[in-house]
Amino acid sequence: MRDKLEALGNQTLIDIEAAMDAAAIEQIRLRVFGKKGALSEVLKGLGQVSALERPQIGAFANTWKERLEEGLASRGQICEERDLDKRLAAEAVDVTAPARRLHPGSLHILTQTTRRIAAILGRLGFESASGPEIETEYFNFEAVNIPADHPARQMHDTFFIKPGHVLRTHTSSVQMRVLREKKPPIRIFAAGAVYRCEADATHSPLFHQIEGLFVDKGVRMSDLKGVLGELLSELFGTVKFRMRPSYFPFVEPGAEVDIECFKCRGVGHCQLCRSSGWIEVLGCGMVHPFLLTSAGVTDVTGFALGLGVERMAMLLHEVNDIRHMFQGDMRFLQLFRFRGY
Amino acid sequence: MRYSWNWLCELVDVGSIHPEEAADRLTRRGLEVESITYAGAGLEDVVTARILEKVRHPDSDRLHLCQVDDGASVRSIVCGAQNMKVGDVVPLARAGAILPGGMQIQESTIRGYRSMGMLCSRQELGLLGDDGVGLWILGEDQAIGVGVALMLYRDDWILDIASPANRADCLSHLGIARELASHLRCDVALARVPAMPTEGLDVHVTLPIRGCALALFEDLSFCEVPSWVLARLEILGLKPRSNIEAVSLYVMLECGQPLSLYAAEDTVFELNGVEPTIVTDDTKRVIAEAIDRRIKPQERTEAAIRFERGTIPFAQVWALGRFQELVGLWSGKHVQALKGYVLAPSMKREPIAFQVATITEFLGLKVPLTGPVLKEYFERLGFLCTLEGESILVTPPWYRMDVTHFQDCAEEIFRVVGFEAVANTLPQPCYRHHRSAPVIEQVQNMMVALGFYETCTLAFCSHELLSLYGVDGVPVLNPLSEEHAVLSSDMVPLLVKQLLMNVNHHFGQSSPQVRLFEVRRIFTAEGEYEELAFVAYGTQYADALEMRPIDFFDIKHVMNEVLGLLHKSQHYGAEAPSYGHPGLSATFEGGAVGAIHPRILKTLKWKRVGQVWYGRVRLPAHVEEPVAHFVQWSEFPSIERDFSFMVPKGFVSERLVQAALALPYVVKCRIFDMYQREEEASLAVRVTFCDQTRSLQDKDIEASVAQFIQVSQSVLQLQLRD
Ligand SMILES: [Zn+2]
């Protein structure tokens, strides 16, 4: 009995040392300790052992059992480590190979630019407003102080849809709709497509504008200057700007806003600013009293500003031809993939 | 519009300021000087010089060695011309000159003799006439050392000024001079003109005009207007056909009022806009006519530009008076209009009253302006101004029709003080509840995340393209071209066009990947709507690095994502839109998704294999974000059963899913396999059973399973596979 146990124990210890993976260890465990395992088989003979010897044999068997279990556990741990190493090696991939994920596309720079400007105006308390793109002639012209015989009417080469209806030539038409629908204080911006009957390297029959309108008690021109300062410095960084008196029928006083040319800083031969040192970026002014009175709003003043999104986008991204904007060429669209908005 | 700096200097004493500086000041005042050019460009280093000596070059038959005196020094010049003699005064281009044609003059040695410049022909100086004759001989009496630019009255600067559309007065030298004068605090010359008869002519006015003045002259024939006048008109772009026309053009450029000259038969005159008979210098009786009107021009002549902006009322009489004065001055004899006619509205201007402080408040000036300061500013601008305590009363001058109310006056002060005087204030902050990003922005972001590039189409297209797609639109009454005739009610045709352009022109033979989308306003007979449309062509990942062509279910996935964002039902019907592939298209409330019909692609000369995919969906103005509610899930295990069917072609699998979901205990039914052959297909679904209150046993679901099989066989006509 003792010999049998000894032989089984020693053989098992050899087997354990020879085991190379967790599966082999598990096999040995089953073979030795299983219900019908070798150990049980040997211990079946315990019945024939004298009662006197039985406790000693039992203790001897237990010692062997513990030794074998210990052996299985420690060898088992080594085998598990080996298995894991093998698995890790097998599962490794070339992490530098391209990702399977669909590459994201991009927002059009007109959208990116619109969002940048909308975000700045939004922080200044301006809310988004909109109006129809097929607009009545009245709202597009008369309502914003451009009567039929006004020279400015010819400046807008207008598309007609049906008698009395045009494709809006500017987002200023939204101003008047808002002035009539809402009560001051009004702080809105309107972004969207506008249409003019012209097409060349710098003009497109469809382009985009953003119009800001602020009407309240005691709005001053200095407020306009302050808002312009915020808007321009957020768009172009710290930049010198000036308001040059100009004429738009819906504002009085009206001004065009120039920023100092960021290419040449006003020195030397420069294509961007045509060597003037200044780049025209937007138009603005104090809301013309005609608009306020005809909307029935009294005792208030206001300012309005309007800019061309294409022009801004072309300046910000250094695009040289407006037609790129509307051709959907992937080589163009992909350029602006990583730009934030 | 072009203005002569010398002319402006005659009208106002500008002192020593340079045109560049004046231009900057005018620009800051709202008269944008777009360019300044020297009228004598190329003639800067060309002076008159006398030939003192002329001998034949020893080594040449044609060349001469000349000694010339340019007033400053005597120079040796080697010259190839033959037509000069000793004593002649000729133009000398000194070393360093760059002639109008671009030729650079340098000191050089010609066949062993130094030449310190070049004697010039008219042609070499960019002037017409005398081609091939040789040097331009200026005669023996011409003073030497005189700049040729000066001699030709081209020593002048041309300012190209864009004045605001409401400033009719600025389309004249007088108007710009007034602006300079108010800025430089000095007076404008040329304030009074001789009187003119206002009666005697019998004029019938049938044109819609605001006012007019006419004058009858007799025997205006005179020698010649001075050559400086013609030179000045020429550098400003005008070429008069006669002396008398030169005078009328000069008056127009000076005061802004166009003049028409008629040959007069008698004293009865019809003012009806009929083209007048051209007046020559020999015309005996001339009627000069000045009318005040604003009219859309048919052409871009100098007069038409002024009529477009609208002439200044009351300038007509002044213009005729000036015409009469100049004719007299330049012909050297007394000239007086015989008869006249004047139609003019009242010259009285209404004064504008406001409080002194309002200007400072309205503009938000850094330093408040006092009454006396304001008064001075307005008076310098030619306004009448009276102060009464804290209120001020200003009357604009007759030529400033654009000033009618307080804000116009504020603008005048803004122009005077400049934008630097305006403070920098920000409106009171305004706290507003901002909703989450608008629907359009969310949709744009989603499409970008799904691999699409945003594009922008022009909304316009041809009737032909729309009829190919069977799409309608809103026609434009005055389109730019056939290609821009209609505003499309559907962006898909425009996006497909851009997709084809990308594939055809830019990707050669490699596998093209094009995914484009656009969100924009579309136009239908019922109204305008915001819409999303997208197109796709190419492949996408099948597995690992392997690519497979995009299929319907990829595109449907894109549309599902968008519909999910909009909280719209993802229920599709098998109908195709007019341009859709009938078997690869689905429509739903407000949109469609699928492949473009191959017939359309063939017409568009599409040569590649594979489908062109499209999708479009109308976007609501805003989406109510639904609030999701808690639902207790089952704590008990569920049972799954798989069923496999043979289905006929054209079977709508959604019906099978719906049938399963209608049965007791069924919580989920998912299609997990589809296999299609010629005439039939197999479809496998996994149905999940579960209960809230207990663990289901096989026997609990037996009835549901049996019913499912029964419905699928008898109602849906499917055949269960084993
Ligand atoms: Zn520059």
The pLDDT tens digits of the residues spanning B25-48 come to 999 899 999 999 998 888 888 999
Q: With respect to residue A246, please indicate whether it lies within any of the assigned structural domains.
A: yes
Q: Does one domain contain both A331 and A224?
A: yes
Mutate which: B163, B456, B505, B519, vs A, most A CBs within 10 A: B456
What is the structure's pLDDT at A271? 82
Domain count, chain A: 2
User: Is B534:B614 a contact under the CB 8 Å cutoff?
Assistant: yes
pLDDT band of A339, cuts 50, 70, 90? very low
Give me the percent of chain A exceeding a pLDDT of 90.
48
Domain contains A102 = no
Option in A111, A125, A222 nearest B425 (CB): A222
Residue B508 pairs with which residues in a beta bridge? none
For position A303, what pLDDT does the model report? 97
DSSP state for residue B364 in the 8-state scheme: T
Determine the Cα–Cα distance for residues A159 and A170; give it in Å rounded to an integer.
12
Same domain, A159 and A266: yes
CATH entry, B439-619, from 3.20.20.70, 1.10.10.10, 2.30.30.240, 3.30.930.10: 3.30.930.10
- How far is the C-alpha of B247 from the C-alpha of B463, rounded, in Å? 54
Query: Which residues of chain B does A256 touch, with a Cβ-Cβ cutoff of 8 Å?
Result: 32
Cross-strand partners of A191? A210
Taking only the tens place, the pLDDT of each residue in B151-194 is: 888 889 999 999 988 898 999 999 999 999 988 888 888 767 77
Q: Where residue A332 falls among pLDDT bands split at 50, 70, 90? A: very high
B337 phi-psi bin (left φ>0, alpha ψ -120 to 50, beta other): beta
| Per-residue pLDDT at A265 exceeds 90 | no
- Omega into B194 within 30° of 0, i.e. cis? no
Q: B-chain residues within 8 Å CB-CB of A230?
A: 426
Alpha helices in B418-567 (DSSP H): 439-449, 463-469, 492-506, 552-565
Query: Is there a contact between A125 and B459 if contact means CB atoms under 8 Å apart?
Result: no
- Whole-model pTM: value is 0.83
B53-81 as b/e, with b when 16 or more CB fall inside 10 Å?
ebeebeeeeebbbbebbbeeeebebbbeb
Confirm whether A135 is domain-assigned.
yes
Q: Identify the pLDDT of residue B371.
A: 94
CATH code (residue A119): 3.30.930.10
Q: Is the pLDDT of residue B366 over 60?
A: yes
Please tell me whether residues A52 and A126 are part of one structural domain.
no
Distance CA B113, CA B473 (A): 80
Higher pLDDT among residues B637 and B679, named by residue: B637
Listed in sequence order, the residues at least 6 apart from B473 whose beta carbon sits closer than 8 Å to its beta carbon are B461, B466, B486, B487, B488, B489, B490, B523, B524
- Of residues B580 and B195, which shows the higher confidence score? B580
Enumerate the residues of chain B whose CB falls inside 8 A of the CB of residue A252. Answer: 407-408, 410-411
Mean pLDDT on B358-387: 94
Percent of chain B topping pLDDT 70: 96
> Across-strand partners of B535?
B516, B614
Q: Of B122-131, B413-422, B458-467, which gets the smallest average pLDDT?
A: B122-131
First CA to last CA distance, chain A? 85
Calculate mean pLDDT across residues A46-65: 83
Q: Is the ipTM of this complex over 0.90?
A: no
Please check whether residue B664 is in contact with residue B703, taking contact to mean a CB–CB distance below 8 angstroms: yes
How many Cβ pairs within 8 Å bridge chains A and B? 223
Chain A environment of B502 (Cβ under 8 Å) = 328-330
Are residues A245 and A150 part of one domain? yes
Q: Does A101 have pLDDT greater than 50?
A: yes
Mean pLDDT, chain B, integer? 88
Question: What does the H/E/C string look like for B621-688?
Answer: CCCCCCCCCCCCCCCCCCEEEEEEEEEECCCCHHHHHHHHHCCCCEEEEEEEEEEECCCEEEEEEEEE
DSSP state letters, A215-237: EETT--HHHHHHHHHHHHHHHHS
Query: Which CATH architecture does the domain made up of B352-421 adopt?
Result: 2-Layer Sandwich (3.30)
B487 Cα distance to chain centroid: 21
pLDDT tens-digit map of A133-152: 999 999 999 999 888 877 66
Q: Quick check: B297 and B305 in contact, CB under 8 A?
A: yes
Sketch the domain layout of chain B as residue ranges: 2-39+156-184, 46-151, 202-343, 352-421, 439-619, 639-720
- Asked whether residue A65 falls in the same domain as residue A173, the answer is no
Mean pLDDT, range B406-435, rounded to an integer: 85
Please tell me whether residues A78 and A121 are part of one structural domain: no
Cβ–Cβ below 8 Å for A289 and B523:
no
CA dihedral of B564, B566, B571, B572, whole degrees rounded to 10: -100
Same domain, A185 and A56: no
For residue A164, the distance in angstroms to the closest alpha carbon of chain B comes to 12
Q: Is residue A29 domain-resident?
A: yes
A200, A294: one domain: yes
The CATH code of domain B2-39+156-184 reads 3.30.56.10
Supply the angle between the helices A221-236 and A309-317 in degrees, to the nearest 10. 40
Assign A50 a pLDDT band (cuts: 50, 70, 90).
confident
Instruction: With a cut of 90, say whether residue B308 has pLDDT above it.
Output: no
User: Are residues B446 and B565 in contact, defined by beta-carbon separation less than 8 angstroms?
Assistant: yes
Of the candidates A249, A126, A108, the one whose C-alpha atom is nearest the C-alpha of residue A190 is A126
In whole angstroms, give the CA distance from residue B584 to residue B601.
15
Predicted local distance difference test score (pLDDT) of residue A136: 94
**pLDDT at residue B528 in the model:** 92
Q: How far apart are CA B669 and CA B691, in angstroms?
A: 15
Q: The tokens of B629 are what? A: 């509610």
Domain stop point among A42, A58, A90: A90
* Band of residue B420 on the pLDDT scale cut at 50, 70, 90: very high
Collect all residues of chain A within an 8 Å Cβ-Cβ radius of residue B24.
none
The tens digit of pLDDT for each residue in B641-676 reads 999 999 887 788 888 999 999 999 999 999 998 887
Task: Locate B718 and state its tokens.
Answer: 């499917």
Q: Which residue of A has its CA nearest to B432?
A: A125
Q: What are the distances in angstroms from CA B658 to CA B588, B650, B716?
A: 18, 17, 11
Residue B614 has pLDDT above 50, yes or no: yes
Higher pLDDT, B267 or B248: B248
Residues A203 and A75 in one domain: no
Lowest mean pLDDT among A37-41, A331-335, B30-34, B607-611: A37-41
pLDDT at B131: 62
Arithmetic mean of pLDDT, B481-495? 95
Coil, strand or helix at A58: helix
**Residue B626 pLDDT:** 81
Q: Between β-strands A165-167 and A134-136, what pairing exists: parallel, antiparallel or unpaired?
A: antiparallel
Regarding whether A244 and A127 lie in a shared domain, the answer is yes
| Mean predicted lDDT score pLDDT of chain A | 88
User: What is the band of B689 on the pLDDT scale with cuts at 50, 70, 90?
Assistant: very high
Chain-chain contact of A160 with B477 (C-beta, under 8 angstroms)? yes
Please say whether the structural domain B202-343 has been given the CATH code 3.40.50.1820: no
Q: Residues in chain A, how many? A: 341
* A120 and A8 part of one domain: no
> Does one domain contain both A84 and A114?
no
Residue B315 clears pLDDT 80, i.e. is over it:
yes
- For residue B673, the distance in angstroms to the closest alpha carbon of chain A comes to 24
Q: Residue A164: count other Cβ atoms within 10 Å of its Cβ.
A: 9
DSSP class of B573:
B
Judged against a pLDDT cut of 50, whether residue A340 lies above it is answered with no
Contact B430 A326 (CB under 8 A): no
At residue B561, φ and ψ (nearest 5 deg) are -60, -45
* Domain B639-720 falls under CATH 3.30.70.380: yes
Sorting pLDDT into bands at 50, 70 and 90, what band is B430?
Answer: low
Interior angle at CA B414, CA B409 and CA B420, nearest 5? 165
Q: Look-up: residue for tokens 């019998």?
A: B202
| Average pLDDT score over residue span B513-539 | 93
Of A100, A154, A326, the CB nearest to B541: A100
Report CB contact under 8 Å: A225, B425: yes
Asked if B352-421 and B439-619 have one fold, the answer is: no
Mark yes or no for CB contact B362/A301 under 8 Å: yes
- The whole-number pLDDT of residue B303 equals 87
CATH code for B46-151?
Answer: 2.40.50.140
Contact A222 B498 (CB under 8 A): no
Q: Which domain holds residue A187?
A: 109-336
d(CA B115, CA B138): 21
Residues near ion ligand 1 (CB < 5 Å) are A 261, 263-264, 270, 272-273
Contact between B63 and B78 under an 8 Å Cβ cutoff? The reply is yes
From B395, B380, B387, B414, select the one nearest B350 (Cα to Cα): B395
Structure tokens at B481: 């071209």
Cross-chain residue pair B452–A105, CB shorter than 8 Å: yes
Nearest to A246 among B164, B541, B545 (CB): B164
